[in-house]
Homo-oligomer: A and B are copies of this chain.
């Protein structure tokens, strides 16, 4: 089994620079000696990361995605490290919260520091000092939401940088090269087109079909790799028939994992869940399922119950920078005067200094005084809260009591008011 030989990792399309940040001993994937029901792909040219499901509870499941850079416990929440940093936090602080993997944004990184420069610097892991796995989005979503003067055609998208006004182009091939060879992502996402919702069915269908064509091109560009995976993205808006068509076509093509994209873009909580209900059944049970850009804690709980394994969202860090601290009762605004003399910590049960060592009164003071440390500590706490939630979800699935966990969680959130739902 060549994969367990670190030397093999320099073969077949793996950029040497993706390996540099790790000491040699860290490169071998964990040897899964037990029955590995869902590990697939060992006989193929490209090797899917072994995905072991330890327990299921109705549609939900908990397990481990094994990668050369470490295990990802699922369901997993990926903190977003947009521009080579999970905002305001050191890589060590992010790891301390229990995150097994983070997400990087190809759009931001291709503009600054730039793909070629990042490759010369040894890839994103070494650049930012994060040794565990990284998943990168393809850049397509940010081109639509952030870039100026964008022009989409069948071959790709041309856009003006929001940083310096320079012109850039993303194609399926370029997006794959940026992620796999320059950033050195462990999990590469196909380039897709993601329309904002609501949109006419015709628009949604065309975007879905273009995304299918781009998936195939990304797969060809990705080629055969031993230590990196490529995930496809199911599109189709909130239309059950389009989602089914997209999922089935992608599964026929065959990818290492499947994301559900095009949600959390304005369709609302109920429509998102209904779309999961009609999409997940068309995805293989032996590969990870990733719901992109989601979300609030209750969104995550509800999506895990529907069989989702991976999430990413800027919410914990973004709301932390703006003074919101999350808990099971929803977010609190730490600048509120009622916290001025509150000596209790945000959550003393969490194994995170930001959650357990500092009083709300101190955090309140830091935000009133405009101190950077306030942004650091609330971002840190929120990530610890999210990782704690994932730990509790994994335990609930393992114990076969996810429904009970869900019901009590949803009740607590609803009792706390509209901000949390």
> Contact string, A176-197, partner B, CB cutoff 8 A, digits 1/0?
0000000000000000000000
Is the C-beta of A1 less than 8 angstroms from some C-beta in chain B?
no
Do the beta carbons of B343 and A121 come within 8 Å of each other? yes
A89 vs B89: C-alpha distance in the bound complex, in angstroms?
11
Within 60-95 of A, Cβ neighbours of B (below 8 Å) are at: 83-85, 87-90, 92
A361 to B129, CA, bound (A): 12
Cβ < 8 Å to B, chain A residues 315-348: 321, 340-341, 343
Of A26-34, A135-143, A371-379, the segment with at least 4 beta carbons within 8 Å of chain B is A371-379
In the assembled complex, the Cα of A358 lies from the Cα of B120 at a distance in Å of: 15
Residues of A in contact, count (CB < 8 Å): 38
* Nearest B-chain residue to A113, judged by Cβ: B365
Q: Which residues of B contact A366 (CB under 8 A)?
A: 84-85
The quantity of this chain's copies bound in the complex is 2
Q: Is the CB of B128 within 8 A of A371?
A: no
The complex places the Cα of A227 from the Cα of B60 at a distance, in Å, of: 59
Decide yes or no whether A199 CB sits under 8 A from chain B.
Answer: no
B361 touches A90 (CB 8 A): no
**A117 lies within 8 A of chain B by Cβ:** yes
For the complex formed, measure the closest distance between the CB of A96 and the CB atoms of chain B, giving whole angstroms: 11
**Inter-subunit contact A87/B117 (CB<8 Å):** no
Query: A419 interface residue, CB < 8 Å from B?
Result: no
Residue A282, interface by CB 8 Å: no
Q: Which of A91-142 contact B (CB under 8 A)?
A: 92, 108, 112-113, 117, 120-122, 127-129
Q: What are 6 contact pairs spanning A and B, CB under 8 A?
A: A84-B362, A85-B366, A87-B373, A90-B377, A108-B369, A112-B368
Interface residues of A (CB under 8 A from B): 83-85, 87-90, 92, 108, 112-113, 117, 120-122, 127-129, 321, 340-341, 343, 353, 357-359, 361-362, 365-366, 368-369, 371-373, 375-377
